[in-house]
Amino acid sequence: MHIFNKLLNAFGPQNWWPIKGEYRQRKLSEADRLEVCIGAILTQNTSWKNVEQALDNLHKYDLMDLKKLASIDEKKLANLIRCSGYYRQKAKKLKIFAQCILESGSLKDFFEKKNLRDELLSVWGIGPETADSIMLYAAEKPIFVIDAYTKRIMSRFGVCKSDVDYHVLQGYFHKKLEKNHKLFNEYHALFVEIAKRNCKKVPECQTCPLKKDCDFAT
């Protein structure tokens, strides 16, 4: 059995971004997509728990809106997202992002651009992981997101070193997997889940084809 199915059987669907638990039930709205983009920036090197409160604040002050984000005072914005850490930098990033999207018209227009990934990477504050998170979870393009968890897990499986180059590991997934954004979404979430647990507790892991190369059970 493919390791993806093993993980899926063991942990069940994770229902990650955009809206927990609702992902399969409806098409994403523009507001959903914007929230994903904002979350992707706020969660840079920060636990999701810290980000949730910041997102709540943005909702509370009706700031889940490109024009409002683009025009709000940067210090006010920083204060509202303080709990997500690096708050001065992230306030600046959110404003630059919003202004940049507005130059294209709407999020929808921006997502239709030819070289979307390069466009995203050219925005100050958006690096490979944030760009790919936006591509996969907001624009629903089949791009595999590599993060600290993914690197850790794959290095424990013996596929790569823990400091593997982002695009090298991404290339590995793109080569091995069918290019399907729902699969990439779920797969990445499952990896994070397994990284947070002790692999020994998962019966399926005992027959995992990668087990002999995996020191995760020790």
| CB of 172 or CB of 211, closer to DNA | 172
- Contact residues for DNA (CB under 7 A)? 16-17, 39-40, 43-50, 82-83, 85-90, 123-131, 133, 137, 147-149, 192
- Find out whether 135 and 179 touch, Cβ atoms under 8 Å: no
| CB of 170 or CB of 205, closer to DNA | 170
Query: What is the rounded distance in angstroms from the CA atom of residue 199 to the CA atom of residue 211?
Result: 10
| CB of 48 or CB of 172, closer to DNA | 48
Give least dist CB 207 to DNA, A.
Answer: 27
| CB of 146 or CB of 205, closer to DNA | 146
Give least dist CB 14 to DNA, A.
Answer: 9
Give which of 217, 205, 212, 214 is closest to 5, Cα–Cα: 205
Give least dist CB 187 to DNA, A.
Answer: 13
Give least dist CB 212 to DNA, A.
Answer: 25
| CB of 2 or CB of 49, closer to DNA | 49
Give least dist CB 5 to DNA, A.
Answer: 22
